[in-house]
Amino acid sequence: MPEENVIIQLSIFVNNEPGRLAAIARTLKESNVNMKAFNLAESAEFGILRAIVDDPEESFEKIRQKGIIVKKTQVIGIVINDAPGSLFDAADVCGREGINIEYGYAYAGKNLSAFFIRVDEPHRAVTALKEAGIALVKGTDI
């Protein structure tokens, strides 16, 4: 079932100025939000903290209630191995299927390494990747 492999990521707006990331991190700590994987991307005026968290629905509400701009985004986690070609296999499937990978970031845990990707058609991507034998992360795996 594709839904078990579509993971909710929180995208949190962070002003690009000293102390803002610390303020966001404090809010996450005070709200008991545990980030499992994250990426911080920036531009001249702002950044986006993209995070995979324990309970995305509850965490979303806690963060939003603190007045922080936060958005839910669907991503897919691709299991990657410490071997040449691991990224290629998944990227090639998406490319051949006409599925655009908008961005991605890696995660390395005790029992799992993954590449989280944002694609334009997550459910179709999950189906194509599974049909190609690519192992995917379930939200409960991290």
Domain ranges of the chain: 4-72, 75-141
Q: What is the pLDDT of residue 66?
A: 92
d(Cα 81, Cα 34) in Å, to the nearest integer? 25
Query: What pTM did the predictor assign?
Result: 0.87
Which fold is adopted by the domain 4-72?
Answer: VC0802-like (3.30.2130)
Say if residue 1's pLDDT is above 70: no
* pLDDT tens for each residue of 4-13: 899 999 999 9
Distances (CA, A) of 70 to 56, 63, 90: 11, 7, 29
Residue with the larger pLDDT of the pair 17 and 129: 129
User: Percent of the chain, pLDDT > 70?
Assistant: 99
Q: 3.20.20.10, 3.90.320.10, 1.10.760.10, 3.30.2130.10: which CATH number matches 75-141?
A: 3.30.2130.10
> Which class for 133: exposed (0-12), middle (13-18), buried (19 or more C-beta within 10 A)?
exposed
Same fold, 4-72 and 75-141: yes
Q: What is the pLDDT of residue 62?
A: 93
Of 71, 124, 130, give the one whose Cα is nearest residue 101: 124
d(Cα 13, Cα 56) in Å, to the nearest integer? 16
Say if residue 2's pLDDT is above 70: no
Q: What is the pLDDT of residue 61?
A: 95
Q: What is the pLDDT of residue 139?
A: 76
d(Cα 90, Cα 54) in Å, to the nearest integer? 25
